Structure 1
Amino acid sequence: MRTFVAIEVNNKDVLNSIHKIHTELNIKAKPVELHNMHFTVQFLGEVSEEMARKISDALSSLEFSPFPISFVGVGVFPKPSFPRVIWIGTDDGANELEKLAEMIHAKLSQLGLHPDKKFKPHVTIFRIKNKIEGISNKLEKFSAYSFGKQMISEIKFKKSELAPEGPIYTDLLVVKGKK
């Protein structure tokens, strides 16, 4: 099964702000469904049922305290002249989120699962298939836009099934932060 570790965006005000950007940008790109908004802490790819159980066991022992994070600004990967992904970034709480990601990476590395790249806190809001011209100008006005804040209080181990209408995510494990 195809899996990843995520932190969901679930604050209604933040999601409403993202929806506003989806509507206002008016570009030829596929918006990520609001109910699928998340930080991908670590993509794990295809794993067996047995490995999924080991991952769940490793993540269940994770201990962290909930913390607030703010969502600010819009950016693109890999570069403005040829964007494939449009994302929103983080401000307050980004350091705590990176520390939490490091804790998750440490747990999973014990199982031989290592991230393919350094964790950069962002939430994908659009995926782009074909080249779009002049997108930088449209994104410029959102470079410092504040989308709101949310408490990061749980991480999720998720299964991803790719479907023609978009990915279908299923929670395999939820680990809540300790207050």
Structure 2
Amino acid sequence: MPNHRLFVALEPPDGVRRRMATLAADLRRAAGRAADDVRWVPAENVHLTLQFLGAVPEERVADVVSAVTAAAAAARPLSLEVKGAGGFPNARRPRVLWLGLHGDVEPARAFVADLGRRLAPLGFPPEARAWSAHLTVGRARDPRGAPGLAGALASQAEGDGVPWRVADVVLFESHLSPKGPRYEALARAALGGG
């Protein structure tokens, strides 16, 4: 039986995705020539990862769906705001460029912890590092990071935020190809069970 490369995430609705794409485009413009040092994430692939599961055998997918659905039912809808930008490990030479999230970040963190507790007995322990609420919009082409982006990231610190009402969680399958990943929603579960 085949394995499925799975992760659990929050998916922005189309209106939020369009406004996030504008923020990312503003970041690219502000970066100037340094923007060429980054592989930008297509707008349709931007999501908030809650937990990456990796290779999941076909016969375990139903159990994963049940755990995700139970965690979602125990949570409540979230009010987030996409605002600001930054880089990991730092803005001077980031390897990952991100848009920030504000609002119900602590309830989201509690949801991630509960999700991890429910998935761990199935063989999918949560990541060792603390979960960070961010939306990845680009990755440096050089593994040492992309210099010259600090000013562009700082330029995104001020400005209007994008409100995002989160009502459900999605179990995605990642299909890898030379053209880049394609994400397929396998299951959706309403936050609060609604």
Displacement, 1:100? Answer: 1.3
Question: Which structure 2 residue ranges, 5 or more long, are not aligned?
Answer: 30-34
**C-alpha contact 1:74 1:144 (8 A) present in aligned 2:** no
Question: Which structure 1 residue ranges, 5 or more long, are not aligned?
Answer: none
Question: Paired residues, what number?
Answer: 178
Alignment TM-score, normalising by the size of structure 1: 0.90
1:137-156 paired onto structure 2 within 5 Å: 137-156=151-170
What secondary structure is seen at the aligned counterpart in 2 of 1:81?
Answer: coil
- In structure 2, distance between residues paired with 1:39 and 1:160: 14
1:1-179 paired onto structure 2 within 5 Å: 1-12=4-15, 14-24=16-26, 25-26=28-29, 27-28=35-36, 29-62=38-71, 63=73, 64-116=75-127, 117-130=129-142, 131-178=145-192, 179=194
* Gap change, CA 1:146 and 1:110, over 3 Å in 2: farther
Displacement, 1:11? Answer: 4.8
Q: Which residue of 1 aligns with 2:32?
A: none
Alignment TM-score, normalising by the size of structure 2: 0.84
Q: Which deviates further from its counterpart, 105-114 or 140-149?
A: 140-149
Q: Structure 1 or 2: larger helix share?
A: 2
Q: Which deviates further from its counterpart, 169-178 or 127-136?
A: 127-136
- In structure 2, distance between residues paired with 1:127 and 1:52: 30
C-alpha RMSD of matched pairs (Å):
1.7
**C-alpha contact 1:74 1:145 (8 A) present in aligned 2:** no
- In structure 1, distance between residues paired with 2:86 and 2:191: 29
